């Protein structure tokens, strides 16, 4: 069925870093991805260890952030593997024999990223619910509303990423009849509009989630350790 796809482990040998800008080189792409994955797994692993073994208070936010990490790792691995099929090179230099695998890896990476992106937001919001507890009822209500909004938003864009065509393989199979929309559309403006709307709403939600706990900084009931943690969160989010 996928006769044009290179078999797993058989990577084309004609892609080199020679003549490529630094940021396009395979060594750069794989190096950045590998470093990011190591840091991400260390941080999430340390968080879960502390929650489970030390404070003994694991929550849904821990489970969701682990799922987000798994999806994000799948996305990163897809990008890293894509360097073996032309990622980083001008697309005109990628032969037809590699393009189907290129698009397949791109499809997997984009879909996994969309899912991970939504799960990260949900994990933070679930952690907010733990943080707010029984105080500041308005913040708890706002957080709950945001959880619903992010869930709908994440489902919508994840669905478009996982099912850009019907059947899905039309997204990456060359020469197949196109029955695609959104990310898989052959209309460049439609793809552009989907990407812009996704990024714009993503930034808006990130900003709202970032500023949501600010009232805790000015509450007399908030302990100093919590305030310092929130200040750190705001600083990292601003970066």
Per-residue pLDDT tens listing for the chain (239 residues):
334 444 444 566 577 778 888 888 899 999 999 999 999 999 999 999 999 999 888 899 999 999 999 999 999 999 999 999 988 888 888 888 888 999 999 999 999 999 999 999 999 999 888 888 766 788 889 999 999 999 999 999 999 999 999 999 999 887 766 789 999 988 899 999 999 999 999 999 999 998 888 887 777 666 777 777 677 766 765 65
Q: Is the dihedral of CA 92, 97, 100, 103 positive or negative?
A: negative
Per the domain annotation, does 100 fall within a domain? yes
Give the integer Cα–Cα distance in Å for 234 and 214. 9
Per the domain annotation, does 217 fall within a domain? yes
Instruction: Collapse the DSSP code of 165 into the 3-class scheme (helix H, G, I; strand E, B; otherwise coil) and give the result.
Output: strand
Per the domain annotation, does 17 fall within a domain? no
Rounded to whole angstroms, what are the CA distances from 216 to 124, 130, 140, 164? 16, 13, 12, 42
Per the domain annotation, does 102 fall within a domain? yes
Domain count within the chain: 1
Contact 85, 98 (CB under 8 A): yes
Q: Which domain holds residue 44?
A: 22-238
Per the domain annotation, does 2 fall within a domain? no
pTM given for the model: 0.85
The model's pLDDT over 118-157, given as tens digits with 9 standing for 90+, comes to 999 999 999 888 888 766 788 889 999 999 999 999 999 9
């Amino acid at each position: 069925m996928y006769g044009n796809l290179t078999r797993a482990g058989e990577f084309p040998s004609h892609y080199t870093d020679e003549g490529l800008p630094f940021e396009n080189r395979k060594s750069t792409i794989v190096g950045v991805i590998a470093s990011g994955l190591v840091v991400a797994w260390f941080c999430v692993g340390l968080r879960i260890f502390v929650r489970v073994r030390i404070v003994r208070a694991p929550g849904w936010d821990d489970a969701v952030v682990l799922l987000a990490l798994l999806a994000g790792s799948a996305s990163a691995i897809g990008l890293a593997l894509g360097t073996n099929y032309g990622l980083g090179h001008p697309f005109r230099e990628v032969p037809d024999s590699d393009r189907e695998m290129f698009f397949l890896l791109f499809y997997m990476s984009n879909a996994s990223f969309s899912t991970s992106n939504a799960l990260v937001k949900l994990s933070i919001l679930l952690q907010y619910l733990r943080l707010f507890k029984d105080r500041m009822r308005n913040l708890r209500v706002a957080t709950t509303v945001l959880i619903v909004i992010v869930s709908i938003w994440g489902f919508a864009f994840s669905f478009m990423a996982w099912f850009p065509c019907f059947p899905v393989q039309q997204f990456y199979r060359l020469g197949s009849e196109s029955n695609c929309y959104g990310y898989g559309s052959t209309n460049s403006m439609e793809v552009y509009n989907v990407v812009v709307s996704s990024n714009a709403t993503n930034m808006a939600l990130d900003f709202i989630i970032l500023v949501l706990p600010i009232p805790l900084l000015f509450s007399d009931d908030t302990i100093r350790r919590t305030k310092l943690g929130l200040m750190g969160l705001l600083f990292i989010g601003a970066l």
